[in-house]
């Protein structure tokens, strides 16, 4: 398997703190990789702490995953979803525990979106409004549906996507990591093909760039690090009203496992 992985997080042009966190891992020639983007919330210090804690716990858990005896060559997408859910539940517990023990962090929580790549299989898990997209054969597909109040209204036909994008409560989340003891993340799996790119991002990117703009950038076929830089620069050029984070995996070749 040959991948080109890169991440970038940026404070933007308005905020005085970056509350996003990112991580990615691929060991050359292994058939395993992952990407993580988290966008924290909950007052000064709380948001940054929540996203850092989440990415730390999830990154540690995912780095240990290939050593788990369950993960032999017959691993299925269901196994990967189960494993990712165990790790997200642990991150949720850790944030809740820290919230309970530190009054200044009592409001903290975070979104998270994770892509786990195992050979041809990719599993996407998310909570909140950080998103995953796939670029495949000149088409951009949004792989996640935001856990937001406005997305629920769109799903019920009460708002159009265009109205949702302008809605005053468009940032109100219906789910977050660290919000509730019962965490309900959403998972999906897909089969990757050589030439695909996965893009994970915080809402600082999608507030400023619509899916057409994201597609135009990915269509350039640039190295992942260059695409990350260009996307963050485009968000900042459009105002940079929020922290912006991106994680990209370009799939050059795959190993069937």
Is the distance from CB of 18 to CB of 239 less than 8 angstroms?
no
How many residues touch Ca ion under the rule CB under 5 A: the total is 5
C-beta of 196 vs 203, nearer to Ca ion: 203
Tokens 């517990």: give the residue: 93
| Proportion of the chain in helix, strand, coil states, percent, rounded to 5 | 35, 30, 35
- Report, in Å, the least distance between residue 56 CB and Ca ion: 19
Is the distance from CB of 192 to CB of 253 less than 8 angstroms?
no
Q: Which stretch binds Ca ion (CB under 5 A): 27-35, 161-169, 196-204, 247-255?
A: 196-204
Q: Using CA atoms in the order 133, 135, 141, 147, what is the torsion angle rounded to 10 degrees?
A: 0
C-beta of 47 vs 59, nearer to Ca ion: 47
Which of 203, 205, 206, 251 is close enough to bind Ca ion by CB under 5 A? Answer: 203
In Å, how far from its chain's centre is CA 48?
Answer: 16
Which of 23, 77, 217, 242 is close enough to bind Ca ion by CB under 5 A? Answer: 242
Helices (H), the chain: 46-64, 77-101, 149-155, 161-166, 203-206, 211-218, 224-237
C-beta of 146 vs 242, nearer to Ca ion: 242
According to CB under 5 A, which residues from 25 to 44 bind Ca ion? Answer: 39
- Report, in Å, the least distance between residue 221 CB and Ca ion: 28
- Report, in Å, the least distance between residue 36 CB and Ca ion: 15
Question: Binding of Ca ion at residue 146 (CB under 5 A)?
Answer: no
Task: Catalog residues that contact Ca ion under the rule CB under 5 A.
Answer: 39, 202-204, 242
């Amino acid at each position: 398997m040959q991948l080109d992985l890169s991440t970038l997080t940026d404070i933007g042009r308005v905020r005085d703190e970056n509350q996003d966190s990112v991580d990615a891992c691929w060991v050359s020639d292994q058939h395993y990789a992952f990407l993580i983007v988290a966008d924290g919330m909950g007052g000064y210090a709380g948001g940054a702490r929540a996203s850092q804690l989440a990415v730390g716990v999830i990154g540690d858990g995912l780095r240990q995953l290939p050593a788990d005896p369950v993960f032999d060559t017959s691993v299925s997408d269901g196994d990967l979803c189960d494993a990712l859910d165990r790790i997200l539940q642990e991150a949720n517990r850790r944030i809740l525990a820290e919230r309970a023990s530190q009054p200044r962090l009592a409001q903290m929580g975070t979104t998270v979106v994770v892509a786990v790549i195992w050979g041809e299989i990719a599993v996407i898990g998310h909570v909140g409004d950080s998103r995953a997209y796939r670029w495949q054969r000149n088409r951009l597909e949004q792989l996640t549906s935001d856990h937001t109040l406005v997305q629920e209204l769109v799903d019920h036909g009460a708002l159009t996507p265009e109205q949702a994008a302008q809605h005053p409560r468009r940032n109100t989340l219906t789910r977050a990591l660290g919000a509730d003891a019962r965490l309900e993340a959403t998972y999906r799996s897909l089969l990757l093909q050589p030439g695909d790119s996965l893009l994970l991002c915080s809402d600082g990117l999608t507030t400023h760039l619509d899916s057409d703009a994201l597609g135009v950038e990915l269509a350039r076929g640039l190295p992942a690090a260059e695409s990350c830089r260009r996307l963050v620069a485009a968000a900042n050029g459009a105002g940079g009203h929020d922290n912006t984070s991106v994680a990209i995996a370009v799939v050059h070749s795959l190993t069937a496992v």
